[in-house]
């Protein structure tokens, strides 16, 4: 129980090593009473450290490299770079520059892009620019393809399920192995349930950019306790646990209603890791004031500047859940959502040796990818 065995980037079953190979460890590390946990997986991150994934720049690749390197200190070992609603030209320029890749000393692994919009509701656009929103016209799925240009590196698409023709789009995306998420939407519960029956499996930042819970029609929020979910399927939901986007009481309600579906996301923007002031989120200018981020000149929240380890600590504090539960919301659940739980999100034998060492306060002390140390807090606490 006390040991974790790693070889060739995988977590090893030591029994086979002892009995079949009569082997022992080449290197032993004393983890000094740390908690060892699977690496965090962030399925919704718009940028950070001055890099905005929704801006088509010549040095986009170096920007994504910078973010993947810097988030290692937050315990993130793989992520889905997220693009907010943008003009088609931006998707056509940016998506070919995102490649799915393993993590390592160079940074966290990239699991594929999360495209949040532009097929979302005008009423619940949040920080998304209205002029770039689109609907499904006669072509439905073809319209989506024309907008994005390619789905090669796409892992998640957030759309509003009340849109006409969305059912066939959800079915087609699901058929291609892309996770469909419901969000930025005014859907009622039956529209949301229908979307799940057609293959949708995720809810983008629950409570944010959707109709508030109403007892006669709970809307998308009602999926957490719906009895119309197909047998054997689980609906997951993202939550921005930064103490700002969702009141701790709302976080507790969601967690108690459906603990196994909760996925912590940062929804971080380019300003994460930078000083307060003006930054971008795609086509918009945003202002950071403490942990609050608003579209400049308004009180519309626009993403967060919280880091994943902060979200884990806040979630645990707000709900009083066990340490394991808090850690699983940032590792196991996102892996299950993406169907990669046999490789990531656990410390099971044969899974990727992506793991963290944390102290009892859940502060990250070291980050490992494929069994190699890729980040460590130094003695000065840097």
Can you tell me whether residue 240 is helix, strand or coil? coil
Is residue 252 annotated as involved in ligand binding? no
Q: Is 267 one of the catalytic residues? A: yes
Determine how many CB atoms are found less than 10 A away from the CB of residue 109. 22
| CATH classification at residue 333 | 3.20.20.140
- State residue 36's pLDDT score: 97
Confidence of residue 113 (pLDDT cuts 50, 70, 90): very high
Measured distance CA(237)–CA(263) in Å, rounded: 6
Can you give the residue range of the structural domain that contains 77? 39-347
Catalytic residue among 42, 52, 242, 267: 267
Tens of pLDDT, residues 34-81: 999 999 999 999 999 999 999 999 999 999 999 999 999 999 999 999
User: How many angstroms separate the Cα of 341 from the Cα of each of 49, 336, 362?
Assistant: 29, 5, 22
Residue 216 is assigned to a ligand binding site: yes
Given a cut of 80, is residue 382 above it in pLDDT? no
Tell me if 269 is assigned to some domain: yes
Cα–Cα distances (Å) from 260 to 136, 241, 373, in that order, read 33, 16, 30
Residue 328 lies in a domain: yes
**What whole-number percentage of the chain has pLDDT above 70?**
99
Residue 351 or 378, more confident: 351
Cα(338)–Cα(354) distance, rounded to whole angstroms?
16
Give the residue-averaged pLDDT of 17-32: 87
Q: Annotation-wise, does 114 bind a ligand?
A: no
* Tally of CB atoms within 10 A around 17: 15
Cut 0.95: pTM above it: yes
For residue 152, being part of any structural domain is answered with yes
**Helix axis angle, 166-175 to 141-148, nearest 10°:** 60
Residue-wise pLDDT tens digits, 156-198: 999 999 999 999 999 999 999 999 999 999 999 999 999 999 9
Indicate whether 380 pLDDT > 70.
Answer: no
Rounded to 10 degrees, the C-alpha dihedral 186/188/194/195 comes to: 20
Examine residue 7 and state whether it is found in any structural domain, yes or no: no
Q: pLDDT at residue 15 above 70?
A: yes
Q: Is 264 annotated as a binding residue?
A: no
Query: Mean pLDDT score of the chain, rounded to an integer?
Result: 95
Q: Judge whether 173 lies within some domain.
A: yes
Q: Is the pLDDT of residue 381 over 60?
A: no
Counted domains in the chain: 1
Asked if the structure places residue 362 within a domain, the reply is no
Let me know if residue 244 belongs to a domain: yes
Residue 218 is assigned to a structural domain of this protein:
yes
């Amino acid at each position: 129980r006390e040991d974790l065995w790693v070889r060739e980037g995988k977590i090893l079953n030591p029994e086979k090593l002892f009995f079949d190979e009569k082997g022992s460890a080449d290197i032993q590390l004393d983890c000094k009473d740390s908690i060892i946990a699977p690496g965090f997986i962030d399925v919704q991150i718009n940028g950070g450290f001055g890099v905005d994934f929704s801006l088509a720049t010549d040095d986009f690749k170096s920007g994504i490299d910078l973010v993947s390197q810097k988030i290692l200190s937050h315990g993130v070992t793989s992520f889905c770079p997220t693009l907010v609603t943008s003009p088609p030209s931006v998707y056509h320029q940016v998506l070919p520059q995102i490649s799915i890749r393993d993590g390592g000393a160079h940074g966290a692994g990239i699991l594929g892009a999360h495209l949040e919009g532009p097929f979302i509701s005008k009423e619940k656009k949040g920080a998304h620019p209205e002029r770039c929103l689109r609907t499904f016209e006669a072509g439905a799925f073809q319209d989506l393809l024309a907008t994005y240009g390619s789905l090669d590196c796409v892992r998640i698409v957030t759309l509003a399920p009340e849109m006409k023709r969305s059912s066939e789009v959800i079915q087609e995306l699901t058929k291609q192995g892309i996770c469909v998420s419901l969000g930025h939407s005014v859907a009622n519960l039956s529209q949301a349930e229908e979307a799940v029956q057609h293959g949708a499996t995720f809810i983008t930042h629950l409570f944010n950019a959707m109709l508030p819970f109403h007892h006669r029609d709970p809307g998308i929020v009602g999926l957490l306790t719906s009895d119309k979910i197909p047998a054997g399927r689980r609906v997951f939901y993202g939550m921005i646990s930064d103490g700002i986007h969702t009141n701790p009481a709302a976080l507790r309600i969601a967690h108690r209603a459906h603990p196994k579906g909760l996925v912590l996301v940062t929804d971080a923007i380019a300003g994460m890791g930078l000083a307060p002031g003006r930054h971008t989120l795609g086509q918009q200018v945003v202002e950071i004031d403490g942990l609050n981020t608003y579209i400049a000149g308004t009180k519309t929240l626009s993403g967060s500047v919280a880091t994943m380890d902060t979200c884990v600590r806040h979630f645990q504090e707000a709900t009083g859940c066990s340490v394991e539960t808090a850690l699983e919301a940032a590792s196991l659940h996102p892996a299950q959502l993406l169907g990669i739980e046999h490789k990531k999100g656990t410390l099971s034998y044969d899974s990727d040796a992506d793991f963290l060492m944390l102290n009892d306060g859940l502060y990250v002390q070291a980050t490992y990818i494929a069994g190699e140390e890729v980040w460590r807090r130094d003695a000065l606490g840097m």
